[in-house]
A = this chain, B = another copy of it.
Amino acid sequence: MAMATQHTPQGQEPAGRQRTRRSPAPHERQRDAERTKARILDAAVEVFSAKGFDRARVTDIAERAGVNQQLISYYFNSKRGLYREIGRRWRAYEAETIPDDLDFAEQIKHGVRASVDPRLGGRLLAWDGLYDTGEDDEETQERNAQLQHEVQVLRERQRAGEIDDRFDPAALILIGLSAGNALAVYPHLARGLFGTDTVSPELVEHYAEQLAQVISSLPAAAPPSVPGSHK
């Protein structure tokens, strides 16, 4: 692919270019592929998350990353490749970041805050879901494993009596997750509902609080229905 490099045949050498020759301390080199790649990735997350795959312009991504757009092909082959790479890194990141020994409600709060951060993945998740075609590539498989693990954790708590038996952990997770992403996915509704003209940090906090409250008010043990009563 990118190995058709050839020596420059000729050209006028601009004389008198003064450059000091310093040893490359890794963080101050000007040419650092990894750093540049990271910048592109960051910009890409922002743009993809905001506009979705189709509406995202690679020019836009390149611009924000401060590089030429061809560089994106150079590093990631294609727009799709870039997107996939984001997916990979993202899953790795959240796998190692989200501690599942947190209190469920705390986890939710954390999730809500994270979901609206444009650099984080709430919206990406929604885009993926909407674009989903029903066939499971290996990428989704991986995520599913993580989800199943979450289910296990909840089931554990259920067994410990923290959660009523009638609830299906899988359903609870989906509910929490989708509700947690709500501000990020339905900003237009949020504005209408809360009467603000933007989704402010305060609103995020308020909503996180509310959602956590809902979650944590789920009945813990068997329902308060008196044994022997009807229904």
Contact = CB atoms under 8 A, between A and B. Distances in A.
Given A52-B131, A131-B55, A218-B214, A126 B186 contact: yes
A104 to B, nearest CB: 13
Interface in A167-212: 167-168, 170-175, 177-179, 181-183, 185-195, 197-198, 206-207, 210-211
Nearest to A143: B192
- Give the bracket for the number of chain A residues in contact with chain B: 35 or more
Contacts of A174: 179, 182-183, 186, 189-190, 193, 207
A217 B217 CA distance: 8
Interface in A67-101: none
* Residue from A129, A173, A181, A187 having most chain B Cβ neighbours under 10 A: A129
Interface in A140-190: 140, 143-144, 147-148, 151, 164, 166-168, 170-175, 177-179, 181-183, 185-190
Contacts of A128: 188
Contact of A171 (B136, B147, B197, B207): B207
Contact of A179 (B52, B151, B175, B193): B175
A130 to B, nearest CB: 6
11 contacts: A55-B131, A134-B187, A136-B191, A140-B188, A167-B213, A177-B186, A178-B178, A185-B185, A214-B214, A214-B218, A217-B219
